Structure 1
């Protein structure tokens, strides 16, 4: 039997991302975000919810571009710190020792130690209560070679991304694959249709 739970921001799993921007004075900044995900295929877009009080929101509003970095489990302490500290009064990169790198594609830095960095340009900004929903069009993806499989594309088992449980306020890592998309469920279909 299921029990009723008061509505809260609950979805499993939440990705853990680092949203990187430049401030108006050109200082690199980043924040941890878990209210995010892919929201469109054509053009490829990421949605991310950011509180209005965050320096990152001010930076995106000012510059219109941001990098989405996927931190590996080995950066859990640094990633958590990027969500605790404010970039208004300190340089989080100096504090953690992580390396901001200027993008060749957009006006935003990425984090060298993160295996994946996704360059985005803000397409839509939508106020929703405590957060602004930002839709960013993916312009470019940078991937460490050792984060890619033999097929040359990023491999989640090599990246080891962090996941977040918002109710228990706990980080997790991925487990083992449990099925192949668009084929595991084919035994239930009489005819095959493209998704």
Structure 2
């Protein structure tokens, strides 16, 4: 029998994404977010949920754009730092030595050193309580050529992304390859 833990945010794991935006002064800023995910295939969209007091909240509301920056495991310290301090008080790019790049498709910066970038324009905003959910239509995905497979698609083993677990507030690498999607389950077909 399972043990009840009550209504908590313990879905495991969550993304370790860094959200890029330009603040009210035009300065590039980033924040770490775990309350994110894909929400629609056509048009391709994803969501990010941010609390109203966060510096990034007003920036995304004003510019109606953000980027999702997906780091490699060796960049975990930068990702963690981006969630520990506010862009109101600190230039996170200067502190970490990361390079902001102006998005080509949306009015938001991305991090040059991170291997996978998603540029999004805001198409819906939902007040959910302590968080506001931004639905971003994916306008472009950018990847370092070094993380692409022979078909030109991002290869998770080359990107080496990592995840966050809310319960114990820890980062974990992603495990071994288990098999191909829409193939493993065939063992249960026609039985």
TM-score by shorter chain over 0.5 = yes
Structure 1 residues 88-108: Cα deviation after superposition (integer angstroms, max 9, x where no partner): 122111111111011121111
RMSD of aligned alpha carbons: 1.1
Tell me the secondary structure at the aligned position of residue 86 of structure 2: coil
| CA displacement at 1:18 relative to structure 2 | 0.4
Query: Separation in 2 of the partners of 1:23 and 1:68?
Result: 16
Q: Which ranges in structure 1 are unaligned for 5 or more consecutive residues?
A: none
Quote the Cα distance in structure 1 between the aligned partners of 2:116 and 2:105.
15
Structure-1 separation of matches of 2:148 and 2:173: 18
- Is 1:59 aligned to residue 56 of structure 2? no
CA–CA separation in structure 2 for the residues paired with 1:10 and 1:3: 13
Give matches, 1:123-134, under 5 Å: 123-134=123-134
1:165 and 1:103 map into 2 onto residues whose CA distance is 29
Tell me the residue number matched to 1:176: 176
Could you say which residue in structure 2 is the equivalent of 1:108?
A: 108
User: Structure 2 length normalisation: TM-score?
Assistant: 0.97
Q: Which residue of 1 aligns with 2:31?
A: 31
Q: The residue matched to 1:61 in structure 2 has which SS?
A: helix
Instruction: Output the CA distance in 1 between the equivalents of 2:48 and 2:105.
Output: 20
Count of residue pairs brought into register by the alignment: 191
Structure 1 runs of 4+ off > 4 angstroms? none
1:122 aligns with 2:122: yes
Report the alpha carbon displacement of residue 187 of structure 1 after superposing the two structures with TM: 2.3
